[in-house]
Amino acid sequence: MNKRVLVTGGLGYIGSHTVVELLQSGYNVVIADDLSNSKEFILDRIEMITKQRPVFYCIDLCEADAVKNLFDKEHSFDVIIHFAAFKAVGESVVQPLKYFQNNLVSLLNLLRCMDGHCINFVFSSSATVYGEPQELPLKETTPLSKALSAYGSTKQMGEEILEKVAAAGKVQVISLRYFNPVGAHSSALIGELPLGTPNNLLPFVAQTAMGKQKQLTVYGDDYDTPDGTCIRDYIHVVDLARAHVVSCNRQVEKNNQSAYEVFNIGTGKGLSVMEVIKTFEKENQLKLNYIVGRRRSGDAASVYADVEKAHTVLQWKAEKDIVDMVKDAWRWESALQLQAVEK
Ligand code: WQD
């Protein structure tokens, strides 16, 4: 096949899983990553899984000259998948400029420099673009509310920029709106490496089970949901990675129906925080130390996707369920502990 894909943020959590799936589907991969929230040993792990070692550029996409150099050296790509971005929602509320600067400048640099080198672009978007949900399940046509964080704003703005650039006939874009990515590769060789104390539920659960965190706090059990805890649409990171391969195939085969397309990537099934905790305990045969605390500000009671468009148009469907997610998350956390890879 020999189609070439540039994966920015390719050593990060979702990026590394996508690189593995791309390589296993016959794509050649070039990675650009500044290692700001990833580790270089992930490249070795990718090689261990796939027996292939992608070319790696350690560059900051906010430096236009570095991006130009990359395109001068590599000439052309069939697709660019753009993951590289800051993603800590809470931090973005405290340091909004850091997020606008990094996430928007890197996107603009890529779009300017890719001209003449690539026409297909897959954007790492997020369910966070919906803001406070206006209807459930969330459809791609559901109106977007004001973003609740600067991080969310950068994803809304990113989509807006890409839609306009695509309409001008410069690029073909697929934006994938991820719901809650969790789990790890079944080999336990790659997974999420949270910087400091994790903010997201599954890494916090796994670290509590490992004893790295003393206690998990369930943020509120007085929501208007069946068990009172918040409902989210958790999606296995390998299923999510495969959605990117399907998107690349769609662009390479010119099957896209318009220059700008957007898809929800979730399972379509909402699970409560308590259901996740109970499943983690049951499947991994352990007890979690948790308490019920106050609500976390900015949390919506329920967020889950309508995945009909991804099924029928993109022809992608999640194959893994919450049992796979909690088992793989725990296997990865256990492997981290055993191998002490946190260099
Ligand atoms: C899930 C549920 C918490 C931690 C965020 C981003 C979103 C996307 C995914 C990137 C909520 C509860 C959590 C804890 C808890 N990221 N919780 N105790 O907030 O749905 O989404 O990550 O695009 O943009 O906003 O995910 O994992 O933080 O929380 O009770 O210690 O778990 O209240 O209901 P969230 P999360």
> Which pLDDT belongs to residue 147?
95
**What is the pLDDT at residue 66?**
98
Query: What pLDDT sits at residue 170?
Result: 83
User: What is the CATH superfamily name and number for domain 4-180+236-267+305-319?
Assistant: NAD(P)-binding Rossmann-like Domain (3.40.50.720)
Per residue, the 3-state secondary structure of 195-233, as one string, reads: CCCCCCHHHHHHHHHHCCCCCEEEECCCCCCCCCCCEEC
- 101/106 Cα distance (integer angstroms): 8
* pLDDT computed for residue 303 by the predictor: 98
Query: Which atom of ligand 1 is nearest the CA belonging to 293?
Result: 30
What is the Å distance from ligand 1's center to 180 Cα?
A: 7
- Note the pLDDT tens digit of each residue in 91-149: 999 999 999 999 999 999 999 999 999 999 999 999 999 999 999 999 999 999 999 99
Ligand 1 contact via 221 beta carbon (within 6 Å): no
Q: What value does the mean pLDDT take over residues 41-50?
A: 98
187-199 pLDDT, tens digit each: 999 999 998 999 9
What is the pTM for the complete model shown?
A: 0.98
Would you state the pLDDT for residue 339?
78
Residue 1 has what pLDDT? 59
Does 342 have pLDDT greater than 70? no
**Residue 293 predicted with pLDDT over 90:** yes
| pLDDT value at residue 343 | 46
Separation CA 325–CA 184 (nearest Å): 7
The answer to whether the CB of 273 is under 6 A from ligand 1 is yes
- Going from the Cα of 19 to the center of ligand 1, the distance in angstroms, rounded, reads 25
Q: Where do the DSSP E strands lie in 24-127? A: 28-32, 55-57, 79-82, 120-126
Helices assigned H by DSSP within 58-171: 64-74, 89-94, 96-99, 105-114, 150-167
Q: What is the pLDDT of residue 195?
A: 87
Q: Quick one: pLDDT at residue 248?
A: 98
Look at residue 258 in the predicted model and tell me its pLDDT: 97
Per-residue pLDDT averaged across 26-33, rounded? 98
Q: Domain segments of the chain: what residues?
A: 4-180+236-267+305-319
CA of 201 to the centre of ligand 1 (A): 6
